[in-house]
Chains A and B, each alone.
Chain A
Amino acid sequence: MATDTQAKVQGYSFLISETDPQDIFIPEDLTDEHCQFARSADEFVDQEIMSDIAALEKLDRKLLTAKVKKAGEAGLFMIEIPEAYGGLGLDLISQLVVTERIGRSGGFSVAYGVQTGIGTEPILFFGTDEQKEKYLPKLATGEWIGAYGLTEPGSGSDALTARTTAMLSEDGKHYVLNGSKCFISNGGIADLFTIFAQVDGDKFTGFLVEKDMPGFSVGAEEEKMGIKTSSTTMLTMENVKVPVENIVGEIGKGYKIALNILNLGRLKLGVGAVGAMKDALKEALGYGAQRKQFQTRLVDFPLLQQKIARMVCATYACESMCYRTAGVINEGIQEASADAATMFDNHLATLEEFSGECAINKAYDSECLDMVVDEALQIHGGYGFIEEYSIARQYRDARIARIYEGTNEINRLFITGNLLKRATAGRLPLAAEMQKISQSALGALESDQANDGPLADVREAVFRAKQLFLFVSGVVTEKFMSDMKTFNSQQESIAWLAEMIMEIYALESAQLRAVKRIEADDDSASLHEDVARFQLAESTARLEQNAKDLIEGHFTGESRDANLDIVRQLSRWPAANRVELGRRLAAAAVAAEKYPFEVVG
C-alpha cells in the first residue's frame, strides 16, 4: 500500500493509500467567519422557518415564496455566486456550513437546496456570459426562484432517456418544447426552470425556461409523505417557444450538466443530513432528559444511552466525511480559480474527480440520518408517534434523502462502477494493489505501520479494512469484470463492494479527525478517541459481513473456504468495548444537551 502522503489526493485514492491526519479538513478547522455564517443561517431557520413551521407544513405557496425571499435577503443564496454576478463569491466550505444549518428546516431545506444547487449551478457552470448576467443576480437575491426539470413520468434513474422534445422553429430563432416533467421541487414557486429535452429526437439538451413562456404550465402539488413545506409539481410543456439563446451548454451535451451538477448536490445532501441528524439528536436528548419512567430519566437508561451513542457516532462519522470531502474539493476549486478563463471547466473537473466521494456522502449520510431519526423517535416512545412532537416531522422529512439526487441504489452502483472504470482506464493503480494482496502470503498481510501513536488500534483497523476490500474486490471482480454485460448482472456484489468503500471512508474519516484533534491537544481528545473506537465497532462488523457475502456469492467448495479463511484472518479487528464507549459518549451528549462535538457555538 502506498504510504507517500505527499501525493496529490485523487478520487478514491483513500482506498489504496494512507492519509496524514494533518492533511484533511475537519469541522474544527472552520474559521470564525464560517462560524458567523453558520450562526446567521441558524438565526434564519429559528426566526423565519421554525417560528412558522405549522403554517409552512400545510404548504402555502405564498408563504413559502415569502420565506424563500427572506432567505434571499439574508444572503443565503449568494454564497457560491461570483461577486461579478451579485454574489459573495465565497468558498465551498462556507456553502456547506450554511447548507448544514438549513438541513434541519425540513421541507424548506429542499427549496433552499434547489435554489442554490440545481436551480443555479447549470447557469453558473454552463451558462453563457449573457445568461449569467441575466439570471444569476436575480437568483442570488431570491428575486427569482429556480427549479430543475429532469425527471419524467417514464424516466427517473434512467434520466437521459427523457421524452420531452425540442424542435428548432423554421426561422431558427426558437426551440419548441413539448413534454412533461414530474416530481419537480420548487415547481409551484419557481420563475426559472432548467428543462432537459431531446433535440432532433436524441440530442439531450438543457434549456432555460421562464415560467411565463406561453404553453408552460405547472401542475397541482403532490401530496407527499414528508418535506411537506416544499413545493413538488408536474410541469407540462405544450409548444413552448424557447429562444435559442436559452440553451444551456451545448446541444446534445445535456448529460454533462445533468451528471456534473449531481456531484455537488450529493455532497450538499450529505451535509444537510448531518444538520438534520444533529437536530434529531437534540430533540431526543431534550425529551429524554425531562421524561421519567420508574423515577429515572430516559437518558439515564443504558439501553437508550447505547442508542444515543450510535446517533452521536453516526453524526460524527458523516460530519467528518462531508468536511473532508469538501476540503479536497474546495482546494481543487481554489487552485482552479486562479485562471478565470478555465475556471469553471476546472471546477467541473475537480467535482468529477471526487464524484465517488460525493456519492458516498449522499448514500451513507442519508442512511445514517434514517437510523438517527428512527432512534430519536423511538426514544420518544408513544409521543414520537404523535404529530405534536417535532420528531414525527423530522422522521418523515428524512425519508426522501435516500431517494432523490440519485437513489441510494443508483449511487451504490455508481460508487463501485466508477472506481472500476477508473482502475481500468489507468487513472488509479487499483489493479496493482489488488494483485499485491492476492499474491501475498497471509503472514505478509500484516500492517507495516508503526504500531504506536494516537488511536493506533483504529488506524490498524483502517489498514486492515482496506486490505480486506482490496482482497475481496480483487478476487470477486476477477470473476465478473471480463465484460460489462456480466458486470451489470452482478448488482448485489457491486452494491456490497460500494458498502465496503463507504464504510472505509467513514471509519477512516472519523479516525483521521480524531487523531488530528488529539494531536491538537483538544480538551475533548478522549471523547474523540471514544467516538473513533465506537465507529470502529460499527464499521468492522458491517465490513466483515459484506466481505463474507461477496465471497460466498462467488465461490464454492475449497476456493470458498480458502477465501473465507483469508477474510477471517484479515478481520481480526482490535477490540472495542461498546458498553463503556457508548456510556461515555452518551454522557457527553446528555451533559451538552446536543451533539457533543458541535464546533459552532
Chain B
Amino acid sequence: MRLIVLVKQTLTTEARIALNDSGGIEDAKIKKVVNPYDEFAVEEAVQLREKGVAEHVTVVTVGPESAVEASRHCLAMGADEAVRIDDSEIESTDSFSVAEVLGAALKGMEFDLLLAGQVAVDDNASQVAVRVAEILGLPQINVVSKIELGEGEVTASREADGQTEVLTAKLPALVTTDKGINKPRYPTLPNIMKAKKKPLTIKSLSDLGIAAPTPKVKVVAHTLRPAKQGAKIFAGTPAEAAAQLAEALRNEAKVI
C-alpha cells in the first residue's frame, strides 16, 4: 500500500509577523516549519509503514526553493520519498491554484491513501486537501483522530460534540489529521543522515504538463493586528463609572 502525504511549509506560530515595504509579509528571517497538522499526517503515515500495513510514504509539497527544508524534515522523520512542486510560476498560491497543481501531480502518481493536515496554521483555510480529493474524485474523511487501514478501505474516527464518529471509506481516499492523533517524532541524527540518500524530486508545472492556474483569490492587503491598548479604569462611584463606561462604549468604541 502506498501513501502520499500533502505537506505545506508554514511560518512558526510563534513568529512575530512584520510587513515589508511592499505590504507583504517579511518572512526572510522567520523560522519556517512543516505545518504542525501536516506533521501529524506524516507521523501517521510513517507509523502505518512501520506497522507493516503500508509500504511506501511519499510527501508532496508545493512551495519555493526554501521549502526543500520541509521536504528534508519529512524524509528525516521517515518518509521514503519527497516531491517538491516549484511554485515560482504560480501567480498567487491561493487554495484553488495549489489544489489544481496538486491534483495534476497526483493524477500521475500511484497511491492508495492520501493524507494531509486538516488545516494549515498560516491561512487556516482547510481548503487544499479537500479540493484535491474533489478533483481526483476521492472519498474523504476529515479532522480525524484515529486511522485504521483495512482491505481496500480506511476507517477513521473523528470527535464530534463529545461523541466519536467512525467512518469508513473505500480506497483510494483522503484522510485529514487533527492534533492529538499522535506525537510527531523529531528527526534523529541517523535519520537526518539517511534522509540525504532518499529521492527528492523537484517538478515544474511544465513537468506536470499544466499551465499556471488562474487564481480565484487575490490578496489585496495585509494589515497587522492593532497594538493592544491598555485597559481603561473609570473612577468615581459605581453609578458614575457605569455612566462613563456607557458613554465610552457608545462614542469611543462605537459598539452600542
Query: What is the interface of chain A, defined by CB distance below 8 A to chain B?
Result: 32-33, 36-37, 39-40, 43-44, 47, 73-76, 78-79, 88, 90, 98, 523, 601
Contacts and interface: CB of A to CB of B under 8 A. Distances in A.
Contacts of A33: 192, 196
Interface of B: 29, 31-32, 69, 72-73, 76, 186-193, 196
B186 A75 contact: no
Contacts of A47: 186
A527 to B, nearest CB: 13
Contacts of B76: 36
Nearest to B190: A75
26 contacts: A32-B69, A32-B72, A33-B192, A33-B196, A36-B72, A36-B73, A36-B76, A36-B187, A37-B192, A39-B186, A40-B186, A40-B187, A40-B189, A40-B192, A43-B186, A44-B186, A73-B188, A74-B186, A75-B191, A76-B189, A78-B190, A79-B189, A88-B189, A88-B190, A601-B31, A601-B32
A523 B20 CA distance: 14
Contacts of A78: 189-190
B69, B72, B73, B189 interface centre (most CB from chain A within 10 Å): B189
Contacts of B190: 75, 78, 88
B189 A37 contact: yes
A103 to B, nearest CB: 17
B31, B72, B188, B196 interface centre (most CB from chain A within 10 Å): B188
Contacts of A43: 186-187
The main secondary structure of chain A at its interface with chain B is helix
A523 B18 CA distance: 16
Contacts of B186: 39-40, 43-44, 47, 74
A224 to B, nearest CB: 30
Q: Which 8 A-B pairs have the closest CB atoms?
A: A75-B189, A43-B186, A601-B31, A75-B190, A74-B188, A75-B188, A36-B192, A40-B187
Contacts of A44: 186
Contacts of B188: 40, 73-75
B154 to A, nearest CB: 30
Contacts of B196: 33
A105 to B, nearest CB: 15
A40 B193 CA distance: 12
Contacts of B189: 37, 40, 74-76, 78-79, 88, 90, 98
Contacts of A37: 189, 192
Contacts of A76: 189
Contacts of B31: 601
Contacts of B69: 32
A43 B183 CA distance: 13
Contacts of A90: 189, 193
A98 B189 CA distance: 10
Nearest to B187: A40
Nearest to B29: A523
A40 B190 CA distance: 11
A245 to B, nearest CB: 30
Contacts of B29: 523
A90 B190 CA distance: 11
A36 B32 CA distance: 13
A27 to B, nearest CB: 16
Contacts of B193: 88, 90
A191 to B, nearest CB: 22
A90 B192 CA distance: 12
A75 B76 CA distance: 13
A190 to B, nearest CB: 22
A88 B72 CA distance: 18
A290 to B, nearest CB: 13
B120 to A, nearest CB: 19
A272 to B, nearest CB: 18
A33 B193 CA distance: 9
A75, A78, A523 interface centre (most CB from chain B within 10 Å): A75
Nearest to B15: A601
Nearest to B183: A47
A73 B189 CA distance: 9
Given A47-B186, A79-B189, 15 more contacts: A32-B69, A32-B72, A33-B196, A36-B72, A36-B192, A37-B189, A37-B192, A40-B186, A40-B188, A40-B189, A40-B192, A74-B189, A75-B188, A75-B190, A90-B193
A233 B190 CA distance: 32
A411 B101 CA distance: 62
B91 to A, nearest CB: 28
Nearest to A75: B189
A130 to B, nearest CB: 25
Contacts of B187: 36, 39-40, 43
B9 to A, nearest CB: 13
Contacts of A523: 29
A43 B34 CA distance: 14
A286 to B, nearest CB: 12
B205 to A, nearest CB: 26
Nearest to A37: B189
A43 B196 CA distance: 20
Contacts of A88: 189-190, 193
Contacts of B192: 33, 36-37, 40
A74 B76 CA distance: 12
A78 B191 CA distance: 12
A554 B246 CA distance: 81
A445 B188 CA distance: 54
A78 B190 CA distance: 8
Nearest to A42: B186
Nearest to A86: B190
B21 to A, nearest CB: 14
A76 B32 CA distance: 24
Contacts of A32: 69, 72
B170 to A, nearest CB: 38
B74 to A, nearest CB: 12
Nearest to B189: A75
A73 B188 CA distance: 8
A304 B32 CA distance: 32
Nearest to B69: A32
B232 to A, nearest CB: 15
B164 to A, nearest CB: 28
A43 B193 CA distance: 17
A45 to B, nearest CB: 10
